[in-house]
Each structure stands twice: as C-alpha cells, then as structure tokens.
Structure 1
Amino acid sequence: MRRAPRGVVAAVVGALLVALAVSGCGMSVFFPVVEESTPFPQDVDPSIEPYYTQILRWEQCGDFQCATAAAPIDWDDPSAGDIELALIRQPAQEDRIGSLLVNPGGPGVSGYDFVADSLDTAVTEPIQDRYDIVGFDPRGVGRSSAVTCLEDDDLDRLLYGSAAGARGSDTWLNAQNERTHAFGQACLTKNGALLANVDTVSTARDLDMLRAAVGEEHLDYLGFSYGAYLGTVYAGTFPDRVGRLVLDGAIDPALGDAQLTIGQAQGLEAALRAYLAACMPAATCPFQGTVDDAMASVRGILDAVSKNPIASTDGRLLTADTLLIAIAAPLYDAETWPVLDTLFGTVVAGQAEFALTIADGYYGRTPEGTYESNLMEALRAVKCLDYPAQNSVSVMKEQGKALTQAAPYLGPYLAYGDLACLSWPFRSERTPAPIAAPGAAPILVLGTTNDPATPYAWAVAVASQLESGVLVTLQGEGHTALGAGNACVDATVEQYLVDGVVPTADVVC
C-alpha cells in the first residue's frame, strides 16, 4: 500500500464520491514541436552513452509539454533492446533554476498523470515558479513501456474474487498460490524480458539518464512514498550526481518485506485509532463505546466479510482483502476520514457498492469495468524484484502470528504477503541493506509522525543512514508531509529547493 501523497489520495476519494472522472493530457494528441532538450555531457560507458546524449523532442500536449525517451530494457545488456519512457513537464513560470523530476509513489502510480492532474496538491507555487516540473511514468508503468498481464474481466476475478477455504488454511494457501502462479505466467507471456527488468535499481538508472537528457549535471528530485524509496536508491547508486533531493514518506531500505508489513500494519492501526477517536463523539459515527471497542468492531467486520464475502449488484465480491483497501485509502488524509463513516455503515448493512467504489479508485477501475492504470500489475512486478520472498509455509505462518501480535486488528489481513511473489517468474536478487550515499549533497527526508503507510520510524532511519540526511518532522496525521497545508514544512522545502538553504539541524513542524 505504498501510494501517492495525501493530496492526490484525497482528490481521488473526493472525485469518487461525486462520480467525476478526471483524465490527464493524452500523449496521442500532439501539437507543433516546442523545443528540444540539450543533454548534459556525461562520462559514461560507451555502450549506454547514446541514451544519455539523446535529444528529447518536447511537444505541446494541452497545457503541458510531452516527450518520449528511450532506455535499454536491461541496463547491463543494452543490446537487448529498448523501452520507452513517457515524460511530461510544466515549464518554470519565472526565473528558471533547472528541472525538478518528481515521482508520486506506488510502485505503479503515474508520474505523468501526477503532473497533469494533481501537481498543485503537493508542489507549491514558489517551486513551480522556479523549476521545470518533470513527471515521468517509470519503466513498467502507464504510458511508458508498461507491464500488462490480464484482460479487464480476468483482473476483476483476481482482485475481486474469493479464494477457497479459511484464511491461512492449507486449502486457502494452495488456492492463493495457484492464482498468483497463473497471474505470473500471464505476465511472463505478455511481457517477456520487461518483467525481469522493472526493479527499482533499473528505474534509478533511468532516472539518472533522464537527468542528463533534460540537460542537468545533478539531479533535483521530489519523491513521495515509493518515490522517496526510488530517490534513496538513486542516492546510493549515484551519490556524486545528487543535487537537491526531497524524500517525503521515506521507506527504510534496510527492512525486508516482513518487517515493512509489520510497520505498515501498525501505522494503519494508529491512523484508524485516530479516525475513531475523532469520529466517536459525533452522532453520525457508526461505532459506540471506547476506541478499543471500536477497533474490535472493525476486526469483527473484517472477520465477517472474510467468512462471507458480500456480493455487489454487478456480481463482484467484497472480500476482506478489498475491504482492507477501502479502509486504508481514506486513512491517508484526515480530510477523507468522514468517508469511513459511510463505508462501515454500508458494509454492516450488507452493501458492497460503496466499499467497491473506493477500492476501484485505488485500483484505477472505471464504473464501466475497464482499468485506466496498470497499477496492480506494475506494483506486483516491481515488488517481486525488489524484495526476496521465502517459500516456507511454516515460516509464513510464524510471520503471520508475529504480525497479528504487533497489529491485532488489521495485521491478520496483511499476512502471507510472500505468496504474491512465491511463484513469480523472476526472483529478487536484492539484499535489504542501509543506504549511506557517501559524498552526496545534503538530502531532505520528510516524515509524518502518524503516517499510516510509511511510518515515521522509517524516515528517522533513512535520515540517519544517509551521511548527508536532514530530517524534517511533521507532527500530525496523514501520508506524506507536503500537501498537508503545513506552512513550516512548505517553507523548509521551498528554501531548500529554491534557495539551496539546508537546515542546520533537524526540523520539527
């Protein structure tokens, strides 16, 4: 559940509730050429130099400029063929500093759509005034060479179907493994070598190539959630090319998937508690008693839906997994907490439609049953290359017990994550480890104290691991700090990006 910044999530949930469809500027409609980027000369291996020195042709697309870059499908074997990377930019409004590349998270969220649709929610006006804001769809995502695996109906069955047996039972485990194996084989058939090369290190190498292609000696970058992780990996891979990096909602690279899941489960429970504490004094709140009573009720609702999924009017099932997505998404921003009042009320009444509408927004599914994004396919493909999956069922069950002990209300429904990658066609070769990025310029690491998706402890860890890390703490609720409307955070980031002013000590807002 590593997604976009809070402002983007709030906009998505709000749009769902008023049944509005928002679309970005399409790359299929081009206008006359605006300009060509002059790439920055770079001393790189001759086999990859053509990618670094390529000329990007920027063409008008609506209110923005769009271009397509080429990258090798395999950076270690450039002769294996190329992929395309879709870019979009908003030129600086005033005296230009350079290019600021941005990534809103995921993995699998479109950076292209972020710039086209949601830029004002997280990138303040002073930053937009001075930078060309450049969004891109990473390899495997959206308008770039994308991982696509299933037709819409088959993806519906994967996401909204129900595996047989009680959760955690051998029957359930076997059914889940069969489903994920079939999914992986479908992805392999349709994508071939691309599926083996959508890992974050490869994307970080793309990012460095894009830096040079847009004409910059050093990378100025703003990354949220998974985008912050991408920035961390970039710093560790190219420390001498770090310019001004802002990592908002950082993910600790030293943690394995099981540890990350525990942290997220605890973060979601803390955010759920905060919602319930705010909700329960109101007459419209669907819960009564204490916050602990309400937390137990939420667990009871999940248990009930797990045993008896609720059928919707279109035939899809609201399972516990989907209900958890519908609970988590509004927790990303306190402004969308009231959505949960309706969610819980309708589910208790045996109605699936409202919960499915929220989940559809997360998955990028339209009311017509088509998918506007390949988020779920890309997320799975990247995760399985970034995090090693162990194949012992007994270990999975022990990890499930530890997860339940750490987060007793939501933890059980986040267990058995290794099943997603157990039978994936390509295994991860990465070993989780701290990233220090020795010699890198100062890097700003942002963390929110009650972030439900990327716990504050991860930001603290990343800032301490990076030799040049500076921690900016937002005391409050929600996923990521920029876009929260906090003047202290905004000013700190603006002074860093626009003026090059690095805080002399960690900042608390």
Structure 2
Amino acid sequence: MVRVKRLRGIGAVLAGALLLAGCSDAGSAKGSKDAAGPSKSGSGPADLVPMPAAGSISWSRCDDSSFECGTLSVPIDYGSTSGPKIKIALIRQKATGPDRIGALVVNPGGPGGSGIDFARYAASAFPKSVLQRYDIVGFDPRGVGESAPVRCLTDSQMDTYTQLDPTPDDPAEEQALVTGFTDFGKGCEAMSSQLLGHVSTAEAARDMDQIRSALGEPKLNYVGASYGTFLGATYAELFPGKVGRFVLDGAVDPSQPAVTANRLQGGGFETALDAYVDDCVAGGSCFLGATRDEALTRIRTLLADLDAHPLPGDGKRSVNEAIATTGVLSPLYSRDQWPDLTVALKAAFRGDGLPLLELNDVYYERGSDGHYANLMYANAAVNCLDGPAAASSPDQVKTQVDEFQQTSPTFGRALAWAGLSCGEWPITPSGKPHEIHAPGAAPILVVGTTRDPATPYAWAQALAQQLDSGHLLTYDGDGHTAYLRGSACIDTAVDTYLLTGQTPPDGKTCN
C-alpha cells in the first residue's frame, strides 16, 4: 500500500509505495501475559510470558519550550524481557488548562510515521478544548524515526530502487523487480539485524502499554490515523481493560489478507482519481478532457508512455513510470493537494517532469539534499513482519493482475506487482490476518471517509462491526481520514467523544 507525509492533516498513511510492502496484514505477534490483562478470547495473541514492569521516563525541555522530550527503555523481545533493550523516543505537551482528563497518545500512521512530528502538529491543530484537558503525547514506534530506526539502503541505492519498473513487460524486467525487492530486504537485514524481527505491530502495541504505565495512566486514551487504527485495534485486542477513549480514523480492516487489501486500496485510489477528474471536468475547460473517460485515458496514456520515454527531472533523475505513478498517487490523499496534481500533470504534458518528481520525493520523504528519512524502511519492515506476502513469485502475480486491473484500471497492475515486495523477506512473518473483537473494551470510535483513497470506507465499516464496542462515524467526502479535515460535524463529534466519552448516534453521517 501507499503513503505520503502530510503533517498538515491527520493521517500519514498506510504502507509502502508501489515498490514497497503491501498492506499490513493485521499482525498478531505472539502475546505476553500482562498486568493490564491481555485478552485470551477470540483470535487474539496467546499469553506466553509476563510483561515487565514499565520503566520511567525522564522528561526534559525540548528546543520548543512548550514540549518535553524523553525516552523509555523497552525490551527488544517481549519473549525475553531480560534481554537487550531499545529506547522509545517520546514528546509531550502538558494540558494547558484545569480539569485534566489525562494523556492523549497520538499516532499518524505509516507504518513508519513519526508520532513525535505528529504530536507537534496535534498541539497546534487540535482544538483548544482538547488541548486544555489532555497532555498530548507522541512517540516514534520501534524502528521509526528516533526509536532505533531501521535502515536498509544508502540514499543512492534508494534512488535506484524508487525507479524500478513497477509494471514489468518481459522476464528481464520481472527479474529486475524481484532482485530489487530481494536486495532491499537483504539491506534491511544487514543494517538492522538486531531489531528487524521485532518491529511488529503487536510489539509496538505492547510498547504503548509500557508508555501508558510509565505515564501513570490507568487507561490509554488514543487518536490513531490510518495504520494507526490497526495499531490501536491491536492494543485493544491485547489490553481491552486498559482502553480509554479511542479514535480510529481512516480505519484498516485487520481481517483482510495482503492481496485483497492491496487490490481494494487500488480501488480506493481509483475512486479518488475519478473524483479529481470529475472536479476538473465539472469546472469546464478541463485540461485533461471534456469527460471522465477522456481525462482518465490521458493520465493512463501519460504513465504508459513514460515507461519507454521518461521525462527530464532534476538533472540527475529522470521521471519514468514509477516516479510518475507515485507523483500522481501522492496528492490524491487530500483534496487540498489536487491543485498540486494539476500543476504537475500540466508540466508533464509540456515535457517537464520535475513537479511529478517533487511529489514523489515528498511521498518518500526524500530531502532536497538527497537523504531519505527512514519511513519507507520501517514501513517495509513492519508490513513484512505483520503478515504473509501478497505474492511469492511472478507467476502468482500474473494470476492476480486481471482482478487488480478490474478494480483499478490506472494503478491495479502496479499494485499487483508490489505484492512481491515481501515475497523474499529475510524474516518469517509473525502475524496473520484476523478479525479483532476486543471484548470488554470501552466504546471505540471508528471514523471512515466514503471516498478515502488509502483506507477504503468499507474497511471502517468492517472494523467498527468487528470490534465489540465499535461505533462508526461516517464522513461523506474526499481524502484520507476525516478528523480536522474541515468538517465541523466530524470535528464536533470527535471532540465531544474525547471530552465526555459520548459516542455519536449510530449511523451518523457528516458532510
């Protein structure tokens, strides 16, 4: 699946780019008995060993005087809690008013998104009423950002990797893609061997409970977006008795196998692209064409042409089909970024690929100096550990392509081939798809957007139905996630829940 950095709004998203890991498979790493009481019912993880007592967080002022920074030591392996530890990096802004409710832990998704960066965003974007009554706490999950980051490739190797042909046309191109995926995994193993087998979502959820305990909170209050909904649901499965107020926005369906999730996400992006071109056509004199079909055909033709004839980019990298596809996908996450897509497509039709390349670089978190953040490395490591690959061979992909293309004529073929990204992963997956019920958990608010490109609305419906205490709130709109996206109706419902615990009426839909 795909993601793009977007700290302007909640919901940096789900999984690796077209040449990275497919959707997270609802990892259920083997669990541990914990004083918080991990669930033994349903399909939840098994109880094996006691959880350790949480350590302490030593807070000190960050550069910004309104934030405190700290670290918390946690076991690398919860099955061997006396073994090596890593430090989880945290950030906190204390509640600004009286009548404090507690700490509100936030996660932006990914996997691989920085919770530290997101907490800084939340402290400026969340309403005053929430900031007055909650400490805002963010953390970089294990393997991410400042928390023992996973590394896999050099920057120049990553440049090459992002340009691999995502739609191979012959055996040589197929082999090049397989080799690229294999070398990526080998690089992760060589550069991050100690942690690579211990970055599952279940282990990150256990880290969250260590954080909860270290903060002195009896319950965990949480806002998670996109993949962060899977992290939150996994926590609820492990520790249902410790669930406080949980907002899961842009939800993932943990029961979907990777191949199904990737195909459905392709459909989500196709829906978002349809909405973009419909908006262009409705405005009159659309540069793409007079109808939806004309507009889509022009975009698809551009991507196909770039497979053989790349455009100039930044002088060092050209813009081929891989770069352009990522550049088109990236701004579909938010309606606010549709104008960026228009600028980039118009430039490409003039023979200038640089704006598409810049959108690609935002997606991959590649800086102007050519350095990549670790987001995509963590993304692949988590996804490939959380569940079986969508495909294990080119022949298997070929049996899937037609169905992918039926669901997503524009992106389906590339997403089908992306299913190979975990096929040669050096670490055996520790999880598998399964429903999450979390019996005994307090009411959980699941938020879904009807035209969400990255986490299709049906996933929010599914998660809300699976969770014994799930309540669905619907945003009839465009873009990935709904909270703080401009809908006063959604924001009021979420804020009311966070402040009072009252869920919206069943079936509530906002525009």
TM exceeds 0.5?
yes
- Structure 2, unaligned runs of 5 or more: 13-33, 39-47
Per-residue displacement from partner, 1:341-364 (whole Å, max 9, x unpaired)? 111111222222111111111111
Find the residue that maps to 1:69 and give its secondary structure: strand
Q: CA deviation at 1:2?
A: 5.0
CA contact (8 A) 2:3 2:330 kept: no
Counting only pairs closer than 5 Å after superposition, residues 389-400 of structure 1 correspond to structure 2 as: 389=389, 390-400=391-401
Q: 1:89 aligns with which of 69, 78, 92?
A: 92
CA contact (8 A) 2:153 2:187 kept: yes
1:420 and 2:424 aligned: no
Provide the residue aligned with 1:255 in structure 2.
256
Provide the residue aligned with 1:130 in structure 2.
133
Q: CA deviation at 1:323?
A: 1.5
The residue type equivalent to 1:375 in the other structure is L
Provide the residue aligned with 2:294 in structure 1.
293
Provide the residue aligned with 2:103 in structure 1.
99
Q: CA deviation at 1:320?
A: 1.9
CA contact (8 A) 2:11 2:250 kept: no
CA contact (8 A) 1:2 1:226 kept: no
Q: 1:156 aligns with which of 159, 164, 169?
A: 159
- With over 3 angstroms needed to count, the CA separation of the structure-2 counterparts of 1:6 and 1:191, relative to structure 1, is closer
Provide the residue aligned with 1:140 in structure 2.
143
Counting only pairs closer than 5 Å after superposition, residues 248-327 of structure 1 correspond to structure 2 as: 248-282=249-283, 285-327=286-328
- With over 3 angstroms needed to count, the CA separation of the structure-2 counterparts of 1:284 and 1:427, relative to structure 1, is farther
- Whole-angstrom CA distance in 2 between matches of 1:489 and 1:5: 22
Counting only pairs closer than 5 Å after superposition, residues 42-441 of structure 1 correspond to structure 2 as: 48-50=51-53, 52=54, 54-61=55-62, 62=64, 63-95=66-98, 96-117=100-121, 119-121=123-125, 123-159=126-162, 161-163=163-165, 167-282=168-283, 285-371=286-372, 373-389=373-389, 390-441=391-442
Provide the residue aligned with 1:483 in structure 2.
484
- With over 3 angstroms needed to count, the CA separation of the structure-2 counterparts of 1:489 and 1:7, relative to structure 1, is farther
- Whole-angstrom CA distance in 2 between matches of 1:342 and 1:171: 35
Per-residue displacement from partner, 1:330-383 (whole Å, max 9, x unpaired)? 111112111111111112222221111111111111112122x21111111111
CA contact (8 A) 2:250 2:447 kept: yes
- Structure 1, unaligned runs of 5 or more: 13-39
Per-residue displacement from partner, 1:48-90 (whole Å, max 9, x unpaired)? 434x1x1211111113111001111111122331111110011
Find the residue that maps to 1:492 and give its secondary structure: helix
1:474 and 2:475 aligned: yes
- Whole-angstrom CA distance in 2 between matches of 1:187 and 1:225: 24
- Whole-angstrom CA distance in 1 between matches of 2:406 and 2:235: 35
Provide the residue aligned with 2:21 in structure 1.
none
- Whole-angstrom CA distance in 1 between matches of 2:164 and 2:222: 41
CA contact (8 A) 1:310 1:350 kept: yes
Q: CA deviation at 1:119?
A: 4.0
Q: C-alpha root-mean-square deviation of aligned residues, in Å?
A: 2.3
Per-residue displacement from partner, 1:269-295 (whole Å, max 9, x unpaired)? 111111111112446742112111111
- Whole-angstrom CA distance in 2 between matches of 1:282 and 1:368: 38
- Quick check: 418-427 or 455-464, which moved more? 418-427
- With over 3 angstroms needed to count, the CA separation of the structure-2 counterparts of 1:6 and 1:210, relative to structure 1, is same
Find the residue that maps to 1:417 and give its secondary structure: helix
Find the residue that maps to 2:149 and give its secondary structure: coil
Provide the residue aligned with 2:27 in structure 1.
none
Provide the residue aligned with 1:31 in structure 2.
none
The residue type equivalent to 2:272 in the other structure is A
- Whole-angstrom CA distance in 2 between matches of 1:401 and 1:103: 35
- With over 3 angstroms needed to count, the CA separation of the structure-2 counterparts of 1:10 and 1:391, relative to structure 1, is closer
CA contact (8 A) 1:2 1:454 kept: no
- Whole-angstrom CA distance in 2 between matches of 1:10 and 1:301: 31
- With over 3 angstroms needed to count, the CA separation of the structure-2 counterparts of 1:113 and 1:10, relative to structure 1, is closer
Find the residue that maps to 1:437 and give its secondary structure: coil
The residue type equivalent to 1:205 in the other structure is R
The residue type equivalent to 2:52 in the other structure is E
The residue type equivalent to 2:72 in the other structure is A
CA contact (8 A) 1:264 1:452 kept: yes
Q: CA deviation at 1:384?
A: 0.6
CA contact (8 A) 2:104 2:135 kept: yes
CA contact (8 A) 2:10 2:481 kept: no
CA contact (8 A) 2:232 2:248 kept: yes
Q: Percent identity?
A: 40
CA contact (8 A) 1:42 1:212 kept: no
Find the residue that maps to 1:79 and give its secondary structure: coil
Provide the residue aligned with 1:459 in structure 2.
460
- Quick check: 479-488 or 465-474, which moved more? 479-488
CA contact (8 A) 1:162 1:317 kept: no
CA contact (8 A) 2:164 2:322 kept: no
CA contact (8 A) 2:474 2:509 kept: yes
Per-residue displacement from partner, 1:192-246 (whole Å, max 9, x unpaired)? 1201111111111111111111111111100000111111111111111111110
- Whole-angstrom CA distance in 1 between matches of 2:495 and 2:224: 15
- With over 3 angstroms needed to count, the CA separation of the structure-2 counterparts of 1:489 and 1:43, relative to structure 1, is closer
Find the residue that maps to 2:59 and give its secondary structure: strand
Per-residue displacement from partner, 1:145-177 (whole Å, max 9, x unpaired)? 110122222221212x3459x625322221111
Find the residue that maps to 2:265 and give its secondary structure: helix
CA contact (8 A) 1:269 1:410 kept: yes
CA contact (8 A) 1:10 1:336 kept: no
Q: CA deviation at 1:421?
A: 0.9
What TM-score results when the alignment is normalised by the length of structure 1? 0.89
Per-residue displacement from partner, 1:467-486 (whole Å, max 9, x unpaired)? 10000001111110101121
Counting only pairs closer than 5 Å after superposition, residues 488-499 of structure 1 correspond to structure 2 as: 488-499=489-500
What TM-score results when the alignment is normalised by the length of structure 2? 0.88
Q: CA deviation at 1:6?
A: 6.5
Per-residue displacement from partner, 1:418-464 (whole Å, max 9, x unpaired)? 32111111121322111111111110000011111111100000000
- Quick check: 308-317 or 463-472, which moved more? 308-317
- Whole-angstrom CA distance in 2 between matches of 1:119 and 1:286: 40
- Whole-angstrom CA distance in 1 between matches of 2:107 and 2:169: 36
The residue type equivalent to 1:112 in the other structure is I
Q: CA deviation at 1:319?
A: 2.5
- Whole-angstrom CA distance in 1 between matches of 2:181 and 2:56: 41
Counting only pairs closer than 5 Å after superposition, residues 28-43 of structure 1 correspond to structure 2 as: none
CA contact (8 A) 1:8 1:118 kept: no
Q: CA deviation at 1:118?
A: 5.3
CA contact (8 A) 1:9 1:329 kept: no
